[in-house]
Amino acid sequence: MTEANPVVLVVDDEVQIRRFLRAGLELDGFSVQDAETGADALRWATLKPPDLVILDLGLPDMDGSEVLERLRAWSSVPLIVLSVRSNEAEKVRLLESGADDYVVKPFGMAELLARAHAAMRRHVRVSTGEPVVKVGPLAIDLAARIVTINGARVMLTPKEYRLLQLLAQHAGNVVTHQFLLKEVWGSPHLHDTHYLRIFVRKLRQKIEVDPTQPRILLTELGVGYRLVVPEAASQVAAAN
């Protein structure tokens, strides 16, 4: 393991989960640091600032969401939460308080890696100011405000563009309904999810090959939307 490898901090109290995560992440070229407790995690995060954090919510000493909040007070490190199923409200809360994405237990390694890489890419994009986000055939030039599919210009209304821009900035990661509604329509419309449904339907008609079977702009039920790189998506599906 060389110093050039990105460092991932794995926070989970279950030894068997840590074991397979370590193996999978190391195979993918990460250098892994384990933490069993929330206190441990916060200590390691300061001692050896990681490039990625994978955080389980059920920790013996403190709630995972507390670790998230305390970490976010000073660090913008990409962070993926390991969540349990059937609690969409909790997922949304974690995303609002700064998690980049989540995977639901049990999960496959490919799914976790896809989420993690997307979060890390976004981090790099923000710090380097790279203007163009490529999502398969779709290219979104955030500086010139131009959207193309396979080089051909796509005409979007201002709100459609704003919606796509927000999703593109988080390409590969989920973006919550509340965030999109607040950014596009403003706080009074936080619960008008049907506004989103209408504009997403219009957007899909412009950017998807078959709008009834979207491959780029995917719905995360009860949580939000995710812009997916189609090749990466099919790789994930194949590996899963």
Question: What is the C-alpha to C-alpha distance for residues 195 and 182, in angstroms, rounded to an integer?
Answer: 11
Q: Kind of pairing, strands 152-153 and 146-149? A: antiparallel
Q: Does 145 bind other proteins (CB under 8 A)?
A: no
Closest Cα to residue 96, out of 88, 106, 105, 104? 88
Map residues 51-90 to x or -, x wherever contact with other proteins holds by CB under 8 A: ---------------------------------xxx-xx-
Using the rule CB under 8 A, give the single segment among 31-39, 67-75, 147-155, 188-196 that binds other proteins.
188-196
Question: What is the C-alpha to C-alpha distance for residues 192 and 200, in angstroms, rounded to an integer?
Answer: 13
Give the residue with the Cβ less far from other proteins, 126 or 198: 198
Q: Does 193 bind other proteins (CB under 8 A)?
A: yes
Does a cis peptide bond (omega within 30 degrees of 0) precede residue 106?
yes
Question: What is the C-alpha to C-alpha distance for residues 226 and 81, in angstroms, rounded to an integer?
Answer: 16
Q: How many CB atoms lie within 10 A of CB 237?
A: 11
Q: Does 21 bind other proteins (CB under 8 A)?
A: yes
Q: Does 110 bind other proteins (CB under 8 A)?
A: yes
Q: Which residue among 1, 19, 49, 231 contacts other proteins (CB under 8 A)?
A: 19
Alpha-carbon distance values, 162 to 126, 165, 180, 185, 217 (Å): 17, 5, 9, 10, 14
Which residue type does 83 have?
A: S
Q: Does 49 bind other proteins (CB under 8 A)?
A: no
Give the residue with the Cβ less far from other proteins, 48 or 191: 191
Q: Which residues of the chain form contacts with other proteins (CB under 8 A)?
A: 14, 16-17, 19-21, 23-24, 27, 84-86, 88-89, 105-110, 157-160, 177, 185, 189, 192-195, 197-201, 211-214, 218-222, 237, 239-240
